[in-house]
Each structure stands twice: as structure tokens, then as C-alpha cells.
Structure 1
Amino acid sequence: MMTMTPTTPFPAERVQDSDVRVLLLENIHTDGANFLRGKGYQVDTLDRALAEGELIEAVQGVHLLGIRSTTYITEKVLNASDDLIAVGAFCIGTNQIDLPATTRQGVAVFNAPYSNTRSVVELAIAEIISLARRLHEKSTDMHAGIWNKSAAGSHEVRGRTLGIVGYGNIGSQLSVIAEALGFKVIFFDIDDKLALGNARRCSTIEELLTDADVVSLHVDGRPGNAGLFGEEQMSLMKPRSLFLNLSRGIAVDTTALRKHIESGHIAGAAVDVFPVEPKRQGDPFESELRGLRNVILTPHVGGSTEEAQQDIGRFVASKLRSYASNGGTSLSVNMPEINVHVDATRHRLAHVHHNAPGVLAKLNAIMGDHGVNIETQSLATRGEIGYVVTDIAAEVGPDVLAELAQLPETVRLRQLS
């Protein structure tokens, strides 16, 4: 059972687990929905993304919202959804979510930073080999009835140099597997990352581009990465090199990429992400990269294997459930991290507040004045937000909740039991 306590208005609506409403968009794996239904939640699903206006209407009365990469959580959406306590991004990236706004409103955000890593890496390896052997072209010719048995332009990957831009979870695992295939691996990352195996760190992206036979982009969606890879960077690449973008569509200037492919400077490319992507299955896809030989275009399927989507569905759903029912914020993208244990004999207060001196003392003074016995308590802060989880022997009444909610530092207060 949880008591939903927005800072205004008060008193709060009391919500049983069976009344918790969940909305999952964009064809999230059924394991996620089934897991949450198994916990007693009401779960609705849609197989497509929602535009801002549609989402504002759909999220009314929803406590937990699940999205993938094409639904955008804006401040306007958050302002219109008083009941929303958590958003689950059933993917790696969270750039489609206004994280500062969710944090200000005490809405927790969770994602799946590791669950589809292997799937993306396997696609990258498959596409590198396909481009090096020009398999896409040969297959297209064969379907057109053309027998073109030639070794011209077809190469082994052994002994080639793979340059990885972005050495996070995906980039580093790609590094290990590529090295096992015989690649020499170099990488560039703005953060200080430990090189795995025999990989060599480049001090600049320019150094990487001039040395690599294959360049694979694995960066996140932060605004600073918009336009990261354009005319200047492509001009620095080795003649007849290969290029892959399986990370973020905004990172690459597709006009420049088309120019360098048509000129032959870049021998082939594989692109899985695009600046503008269709919102639903079957919608038309437009890109200036269409129709180019030795260019593999895929519809944002880097992490779309049954194994990855099943893992993501279970992982993010479990994080949403832990936060909603128990107050746990382990691996939250935006909230202070508190790992909680489940004890059915205790009641729990979860208090999100502005990170200011003396908040904990104020909370405890109010509870002390009302004779509330504190059994255990955990506090964590993150930037401008603090989070306190307090276990108590008995459920507190609305007068205590009202006083706690009216503290000027309170962002969001929930009673869990």
C-alpha cells in the first residue's frame, strides 16, 4: 500500500498496489508488463510512441510510465501528470527525457544501461564484416538476378584497425570481441577510460580518424554530441575506410556522409539511428542515405533482439516496482541512490526534498512530536535533491503526513507499507 502525497494539494490520495496504474509505450517486451501485473498493478500497453499532446492526455492518473527511445518526456508533460512518480526508459539512453525537470518534480527515472550491450556489439561486428566483404551489395545484385562473382573491393578484417569513438559499455565490449577477431583496436573517449586487452587510447579524435580503417561511433545523446561527426571529421578519415553509427542519430551529419560515400572516400557505412525516426511500425522512412551502394540501413534495431528486449523488460519493470512499492532507487538515473530491504512488518516514509541543511532534523522533529518511533533511516543526496527513507513501526496519520508535506523543502512524500 502506498499513500501518494503531492506537495499540493493535501490531503493525499491513498493508493493500494492494486490501484497503481502503469502505461507502457512503444511495444515494450511483454515480460515487463507481465511482471508488473503479477505484482497487482494495472497495466496498459501501446505499440507506438506518443506525441506530446497525446502523452499529456494518456498519462492522466498514471503512476508509472514506460517508454523507449521515441517518446519524449518534456516538462510540459510532467507538469500535466501529478500522479506520475517514476519513468522507465526501456533502453540505454535517456536523452528523450527532461532529466532536470523530472528531478525537480521528484519523479524517479530508471533505464537499462547494460541489458542490450551484447546485442549492439554483435550487430556492429556483423555489419563491419558485411561492409568489408560487400555482402549487402552482392546480396542485392543476386536478388536482382545479377551474378557478380568478384573479389574486387572485398577484404578480411584481420589486421585492420578499428577506431571506437566512445568507450563505454558498448564500445569497450566491442573492443574485446574485435580484438579476438584480429583487429587492432584504438579508441577515443572524453572521459579517462581503462583500455581493455591491447586496445590503445588516442589522445584526440583526429588521431583516431587518421589511423582507423573502420570507425564505429558509440556515444550518448547528450546535447554536446549533436553534430559530433560531420564534414571535418569525415575528411580526416583514411581513404576507403568504413563508418558505423549505432549510437545516436543527432551525432552524424548525414549530408556529409552521403557526399563522402558518393565520392568513394568512405567505402561503406552502416547506420542504425537517424535524426528523425518514424514513430510507429509501417510509417514511411525518409533519409538521404537511401539508395547508396554498400550502405546498410537498419531501423534502430541495435538492441532489438528477443534476448535483449526480454532482459530490458524485466530489468526496468523491476526497478519501477521497487521504487513504487518499496522506495528503492538503485541505479536511478536522476535520484539519490538508496538500496532498501523489504520488511512486511514495517511501514515506510519516502521523502524527496531540496538538498538543504537541516532537512533530516526537521523531519525527525515532526515525527518525534507526534510520537512516531523511527526504526531505521537512510539519507542520500545528489546535486540539488535529497532523499530519505524512514522505516517506522506503525502507519502514520494524515496529520503527520500533512506537516511533513508542508515543509518548504518537500518535493514529494509517499507512505509505503
Structure 2
Amino acid sequence: MKGAVLVVCDSLRADLIDDATAPTLARLRREAASFTAFRGVFPSTTRTSAASIATGSRPASHGLLGNTMVLDEGAGLKCYSAGKPDFLERLRRVTGRALHRPTLHERVASLGPAVLMSNVSPGAAYVHDPEGAGYVYHRSGSFGPGRAPLADGLDIRVGADGDDTMTARFCSEILEQRRPPYAVLWLSEPDHTGHHTPLGSPEHRAAIGRADANVARVLETVDRLDPGGKETLFAACSDHGMQTIRRKVDLDERLVEAGFKASLDSSDVVVAPQGTSAILHFSPAAADRIPAVLAWLPKQDFAGEIASGETLSQWGLPRGGTLAIAVSLAGDDEPNAFGVRGRSDVAENALGGESLPGHGQHGGLGRYEQRPFLVIRAPGIAHGSHFTNASLVDIAPTILRHLGLAEDTLDGRALTGA
């Protein structure tokens, strides 16, 4: 039976893959199909990226607009963390559905239940199957079909050791024993280490190596179960890259000082910080301030690229409602102490960010955070470098085509034959 296996190395930027640090991925670049122009989505956050991989759609279509989102639950606009275990149910209450496009778990259910094992935030794990079509394993709670809680959950911690334990179980139990039509392993490294140590440091490169070793374990299992690779699509990718934090910026404070926001916690103008970008929402009573904010933003030293109106659609965000402006914060191409290029300003996160000054972050349109990697080994996809434009949203249709399933209501396109 045909199957698809996807391994995600969270936050691994393409230019940090080499034979010394990540020998398995470097070899796959040569021996499988490597998509050199592969890009992420905006905002380049894990939760949004996970939803885009799961649905084959951009944020405007699937509805998960960042690591944080602004909602009105009846008491005015407020920003919430999309990483919390209960966030999708909160989103469902406000919008009518957790995601507005079906996920791969739902789409492959006719062939059997799909399985995800994830060691990132619960919000980024649960977006793969909010409707309970298959299995989701996560340390905050694991669920089977119908969202039934599982007794044999995933008792691990975020980081490389937890990734190793999860990978061993993924290979022995999920791939060897259960053999689902679609199986996903989402590693927390090198994202976890990159947020807490400098990019390119020995600690960060060791985390990349640990992730690469887990890719090798999965690949060895796939090769043993399907010699010659005639039935299995194997893919490895990252969801986004990372850049070094240049400085932190409190956008709420700046908006208050400029007279556009009544107070730091007011609901007239609400910022949804996304790491190296931010999304601004305006209540109906404050909508007349939008032109003035758009005139003010380009003059601010923290502002890089700015989107409003039609440009929001070009960035993959919805138009209308309270969302009016998105900004990718300014940055430069300067190297850090370990020679890794790319720095960005970061929007302060009042909900509690993990990053420390001088270490890694993502979320915007920076050159390196928008350079994840993708390698695929499957029938119908020629080996070697592919220079065609490709994106996170192209992974789902590629898997669906391999499995012989419909590719309707997708923003991406299958890379078969690319």
C-alpha cells in the first residue's frame, strides 16, 4: 500500500545544512529531489506553518494567522497565544471551525487514520487534526479518532532527548507496526536550542546534528520496509528558518506614545506579535486611525516591509474585519559571533516569549527565516536540484497525489513532475 512519511526539523534554515553538521540531509539533497527555492509562509511562525503544511493552504484560507491571534469573544479585541492546548476550541467558538480547510489527517482518512507525533507547542501539534480524524501524540495530551484521549500518550520533554525518544517510538510503533497512510514526525530541534543559544554555536550545530540523526533513523526504517522506495513518499523539511535577534521592540508602547492606542492593554488597537513581525488589529471605533498609522509606520526604525489592503492578500493574509496592517520588522545581513548572517528586530510578546536577546527568532519576511528546506524522495519526482518556486503549501498536494487522493480546495500544487 502506498504511504507518505514526513519529518519536520523545526526552524532548520537551509544554509546551515552541510556534510559536517547534517550529513543525512546533505546526502538527501544530492540523492533525492531538493527544492532550492523553497519558501515559508507569512508569518513564518511554527503554528501558522504547521497549519499551512497540514492544509496545503495559506493563512488567509485556513484561518490560523500566527503564533498569537486577536479575537473578539464579546468583550472587545484581545490577543491570545495560539500555542495553548485549548486555543483551537476558542477559535472554533469565535469563527465556527478550528481551521477553515480540511487537513491531511481528514483527507487521508478513507485510507486509514493518519498519525502525528510532535514535540513542539500543543497548538502547533493539534492544528494537524482538530477534527479528530486520526491520531495526534503530544506531551500535553494525545488523541485518537473522534478526539478520544489516549492512555499511551507521549511522555517526553521538549528538546533533543525528547525528540530521540519520540523518534524511536515513531519508527518502531508507527512505521513498523501500524503503517498508516500518512505519518508525521515533528521534531523540536533545532528550534528549541536556536531560541536559547546563538545560531551557529556548537550547541546549535549539535542540535542540528541530533535532528539529522533522527531523520536518518526514520529513513532507515522506511528503506527497510519499502526497499527501492516504490510505495513510499519520504519527505523531510523545515517550517521556517531563524535569524539572530538584533533588538526587541515594544509595539504597544510605541503606539501609545504616538497617540494611536489609548493604553497598553486597551482594545482599540491590538498588536499580535509574531516574533520578527506583527499584525495590527483595529476595533471599528478605531478604524479611522488606520491611514495615520500607515503614514507613521514607514518612518519608524523598526519597520521593514509593511502590508495593508491588497498587499495583505499578497502576503497570504485575509482582508477585511479588524486585521488592517502587517509589518515585517527591520533587519540586516550582519553576521553573529559564529558567522551566521541575518539579524532582525523582534516584537515584544506580552504573552511570554521564549527568546533571549542575541539568539534566534522568526516570524517575518527576513531572507533566512524565509529559507526552510525541502527534500523529497518519491516515484514521479526526479532526483537532483529543482529550481522551481515551491512553498509549504505544496507539500499537502504532493502527498495527496502520491496517495491517489483529490487535491481540491488547496492553495498549493503538487510537485510531482517538477
Give the TM-score taking structure 2 as reference length: 0.29
Relative contact order higher in (CA < 8 Å, ≥ 6 apart): 2
Q: Which has more radius of gyration? A: 1
